[in-house]
Amino acid sequence: MDKLSIETTQNVSIEYEIGSLGDRILATLIDGLIIFGYYIIITVLFRIVGNSGGIGSSFFIILLIFILPALLYPLLCETFMNGQTFGKRARKIRVIRIDGKQPTFGNYLLRWLIGLVEITFYGIIALITIVLNGKGQRLGDIAAGTAVIKMKTRESVSNTAFENVDESYTPVFPQVADLSDEDITLIKQVLLVDDPENYYTIKAKLVAKIKETLKIESTLDHETFLRTLLKDFNKIHGRL
C-alpha cells in the first residue's frame, strides 16, 4: 500500500497509509446518497408547505434551500468534522496537511473551490491526478497542501483514560503548559501510529525532543510519558 511520509514541526517523521482511490470513490458515493436523501426530504416538505401557500418559489428560496446546502456540504463537514465528511468517516479516511500541521479553514476552502472545477468534468481530472500523483492528492489537495489518508486502526486517543481526568489529579509535568495545541496534536498522532517497525523510533524521537525542550527528566517508558503529558495538558487547560 502507498505510504505518505510527513515531517512534523517537531522534526518527527510519521508515515500514513494513503486513502485508496476505492475508498475515496465510495466516500463520495455515500456523501452523494446523503445529499440525495436531503433533496428528497426537502422536496417533499417544499411541496407540502408550498401547496399550503406558506412558501414561494423564488430563486432566493431555491438557492438557500436546495443549492447551497449541497454545494457547501463537503466544506462544512471537513471544517467541523476534522477533515472528514460522513462518507469519509464511513470509509475511515481523512484530510490532513502534508506539512504535519492542523488543516485550517483556508486549506479546506481552497481544496473545495478547486473541487468545484474538478466535478464539472465528472471527476475525471481528479481521478487521473490521484492516480498519477502518488500521494493521494487531487488538484485541490495539491493546491491546498493536503492529502487524504487512511485512519489508523489503533485505539483512538479520545477513547483512552486521559480524556476523563479525575478532579483530584495532580499534573506530573507542569511544564506541559508550555506546549502548543500543535504539539498536543502531534502527540496524539504519534500515539495513533500503526507501524510496528517504526513506532518505537518515532516515539523515542518525540520524547527526546519534548524532554530537551521542556527540560524534563523522567524514567517513564515512552508511551506512558506521552500519555501522562496529555493527561497533564488536559488537567491544566481543561481540555484535550
Q: 150, 166, 187 — which closes off a domain?
A: 150
- Rounded CA gap, 22 and 189, in Å? 24
Do residues 70 and 139 both lie within one domain? yes
Say how many CA atoms lie within 13 Å of 6 toward its Cβ: 26
Do residues 130 and 174 both lie within one domain? no
Do residues 145 and 161 both lie within one domain? no
Do residues 82 and 191 both lie within one domain? no
Residue 77: pLDDT above 80?
Answer: yes
Mean pLDDT of the chain: 81
For residue 75, give the nearest of 103, 98, 108, 48 by alpha carbon. 108
**pLDDT classification of 233: cutoffs 50, 70, 90:** confident
List the end-to-end C-alpha distance of the chain, in Å, as a whole number.
32
Q: Which three cell numbers stand for residue 221?
A: 517508558
Percent of all residues in the chain with a pLDDT value above 90, rounded to a whole number: 29
Domain that residue 189 falls in:
157-237
Pairwise pLDDT comparison (203 vs 157), residue with the higher score: 203
Cβ burial of 195 (10 Å; 0-12, 13-18, 19+) is: middle
Q: 119, 150, 181 — which closes off a domain?
A: 150
Do residues 63 and 145 both lie within one domain? yes
> pLDDT tens for residues 45-71?
777 776 555 555 566 777 777 788 889
Do residues 58 and 164 both lie within one domain? no
DSSP summary character for residue 177 = G
Q: 106, 135, 150 — which closes off a domain?
A: 150
**pLDDT classification of 139: cutoffs 50, 70, 90:** very high
Q: Among 16-25, 60-69, 80-89, 128-137, whose mean pLDDT is lowest?
A: 60-69
> Number of structural domains, the chain?
2
Give the pTM. 0.65
